[in-house]
Chains A and B, each alone.
Chain A
Amino acid sequence: MSRHRARTAIGAGVIAAALVAVAARAQPPSGIVHGGGSSKPLLEAGSELYAANCASCHGIAGRGVPFPEKHGVGNIEEQGPPLIGVGALAPDFYLRTGRMPLAHAGEEPERQRPFFSDHEIRALVAYVARLGRGPAIPHPRPATGRVPEGYSLFSEHCAGCHQIVGEGGYVTGAKVPVLEHATPRQIAEAVRIGPFVMPSFSKAHISDDELDKIIAYVLASRDPEDRGGLGIGHIGPVPEGIVAWLVAAVVLVGVCALIGERVRS
């Protein structure tokens, strides 16, 4: 009895520890400073927000904070790339998908609820865009893209990491995001930037026209034609195996138990 209880306790402990770990990961970076009202001019508000939330890594006026030659020298803990010339495109993507600010440099930015309000984001985007000449926010028109061609392009450029229907995946050292919630604009931005370790694709490589097709495919594959019934995740064998064991096998063993003798006399 006590042995059993100990086992339960250990199990509960493991689960609790895992939950704490997950919760800890989900914490937003502390110390987000929000801008005052919308009374200030956009650029001024952006500059203030930038100084309070971004400059510690991206440097004064977006000049970046280089890595120290040796670790520990100067006690600089956070470093980041320069933002001069990234235009409005990159900050719009990173802020609207909640990928910035990061808790630590080098950590994989992951999609979450944006830390800033729409007004704050517009202010920051305006400020960063003014740091140097750079690309504007794209305006894709996926409605004009043909899905089969989008499939071909997606399969060649994207499926290796994002999985053929955009269900995400793994690449050594990084988690590849699921494309379920990305808006057409965010997809276009990500293709152009190549966030974190993703390749970037210029207009010479993937034209705006081709990009529209890719986005059309992503939107179509997000809500695919589930002719066969429940989609169970659209990733194939893993959930199928789970259904075979946890549904079919459980039901059929239940039928066996119903038919056959269970209790010994």
Chain B
Amino acid sequence: MIRRALRVADERSGSVPFVRKALRYAFPDHWSFLLGEVALYAFIVLVATGVYLTFFFEPSTDRIVYHGSYGPLDGLEMSKAYASALRISFDVKAGLLIRQTHHWAANVFIVAIVLHLIRIFFTGAYRKPRELTYVIGVLMLFTALLEGYLGYSLVDDLLSGMGLAIGYAVALSIPFVGANLALLIWGAPLPGDPDFWSRMYIAHVLILPILIGTLLAAHLALVASRHHTQFKHKPRQSERRLLGIPSFPGQAPRSLGLLFAVASVLVLLGGLVQINPIWLWGPYEVSQGTNGAQPDWYLGWLIGALRLVPHFDVVVFDRTLVPNPFWGGVLFPMVVMGALLLWPWLERRVTGDYRTHNLLDRPRDAPWRTAIGAGFLTWVVMIFMFGSADRVTVFLGISYVAQLWAFRIGVWVVPIVVLLVTRRVCLELQEEEQIEREQARAVRSAPSS
């Protein structure tokens, strides 16, 4: 039976030799190698749930008066986009489950990408010959951020409207071309031309998903063509030789199990934990705002940066040149993205290490890299934390102004401290290992002498 099917396939496609290679592809084993797979499976859930939502969502800013089944908003004027999102949440059977699962999947997708990136960075997996794989991964992260932002902006509730206003201001703040760019994208000054909604929609459901999918395919193809990196667990593993579990039968059930685990967690969250209850926020109007407005977590670092920057514009005579949102909203993410993209070449330049690396470093093996990475991560995370300082004020009563100044100083001091401490810890761990190794050698050589 199997043999007959294979013969049919082989005669028509000649693919059986490839299938054999694919089935016996070796996966080096470590739990942290699965983080990227979590991101992949979250993306699959995103596509599946997203397609379902497109069957019901109406990306239109036409105004209607709501008379749906959610009483507390009955009789209010709103856009068709928002009304259709309410319909998905209240009138489409299982619509809310799918909507919430989609939103949770977006949050978890980016969590997984970030965890995966952290793993890649601290083990030096981006080194030659995998720089391109890494660069594509970083580009995917930033595309995913934009994709997520467009996703929750489409709904046209109060929070999403405020988020779009901030996005518009950030676009405007780009030197020289900001005004032109913002008008090009929005079609008119905020709230923009009605076409803007069609543009956001097609970007969210077609252009960016295809872009992410293409990058994903290239990412995986490159991973497969150069094979996975590995930790050196056993003497047989070397820069030339890898040791791993075959994709079939060894890896397949584990990967599939992870796929179902990811889907299970996302669906459970989608059904049991409320996310973005748009019916509570109400429809957006330019003249209204709510306290405590926040973006989804993965843009929290930008709101933190926007809030941290002291108040000044670059002004010449009576003309503003560089408006304030540029620093936190454009320059800061550009610096982070630039640093991530350039790091492999930067490191190579400094260390002079141009060799091929298939064996991973443990974080302690490269104290400077680990220290710089920890410091950089601390910098971004601290700016991220400040994004929720207003909520900290509400819940813990710590003065916002005090937090502002603590963070304005802290974001420069703490990362340096973390950097130095991390380097120290790495060196001490190395030393400890050295001592242990020597002791072991002494014990081994003692009886013989």
| Partner-B contacts on A (CB < 8 A) | 22, 25, 147-149, 151-152, 155-156, 159-165, 167-173, 175-176, 178, 217, 220-221, 224-232, 234-238, 240-241, 243-245, 247-249, 251-253, 255-262, 264-265
Contact = CB atoms under 8 A, between A and B. Distances in A.
Contacts of A240: 107, 275-276, 296-297
Nearest to B303: A237
Nearest to A108: B397
B136 interface: no
Contacts of A171: 291
Interface stretch (B8-16, B217-225, B261-269): B261-269
Given A164-B158, A240-B276, A248-B266, A264 B289 contact: no
Contact size range, B: 35 or more
A181 B390 CA distance: 21
A228 B111 contact: no
B320 interface: no
A259 B291 contact: no
A168 B394 contact: yes
Among A22, A148, A265: residue with most chain B CB under 10 A: A148
Contacts of A227: 89-90, 96, 274, 277, 279
18 contacts: A151-B72, A159-B288, A164-B280, A167-B292, A168-B292, A168-B394, A176-B394, A229-B273, A230-B273, A230-B274, A238-B391, A240-B107, A241-B298, A244-B107, A252-B262, A259-B34, A259-B254, A261-B31
A249 B112 contact: yes
B224 to A, nearest CB: 18
B273 A232 contact: yes
Given A169-B291, A229-B272, A238-B391, A248 B277 contact: no
A237 B32 contact: no
Q: Is the interface of B mostly helix, strand, loop or mixed?
A: helix
B82 to A, nearest CB: 13
Given A227-B274, A245-B111, A256-B32, 18 more contacts: A161-B291, A167-B394, A168-B292, A170-B292, A178-B394, A228-B100, A228-B277, A229-B272, A241-B297, A252-B38, A256-B34, A257-B31, A259-B34, A260-B30, A260-B254, A261-B29, A264-B231, A264-B233
A241 B176 CA distance: 35
- Complex A-B, nearest 7 residue pairs according to Cβ-Cβ distance, in ascending order: A241-B297, A169-B291, A260-B31, A228-B274, A244-B107, A164-B290, A256-B34
Nearest to B394: A168
A147 to B, nearest CB: 5
Given A259-B257, A264-B231, A151 B292 contact: no
Given A148-B74, A248-B266, A237 B397 contact: no
Given A170-B394, A220-B72, A237 B296 contact: yes
Contacts of B100: 228-229
Contacts of A244: 104, 107-108, 111, 297
Contacts of B331: none
Contacts of B238: none
Given A161-B291, A164-B282, A232-B273, A251 B265 contact: yes
Interface string B19-43: 0000000000111111100100000
A256 B258 contact: yes
Contacts of A230: 272-274
Contacts of A220: 72
A238 B386 CA distance: 12
A262 B30 CA distance: 6
A221 B390 CA distance: 21
Contacts of B74: 148
Contacts of A175: 393-394, 397
B271 interface: yes
B34 A170 contact: no
A247 B297 CA distance: 14
Contacts of B242: none
A260 B111 contact: no
B76 interface: yes
Among B74, B231, B300, B394: residue with most chain A CB under 10 A: B394
A256 B400 contact: no
A141 B383 CA distance: 46
Contacts of A260: 29-34, 254
Nearest to A176: B291
B444 interface: no
Given A245-B297, A248-B269, A251-B265, A256 B288 contact: no
Nearest to A168: B394
Contacts of B111: 244-245, 248-249
B17 interface: no
A171 B275 CA distance: 26
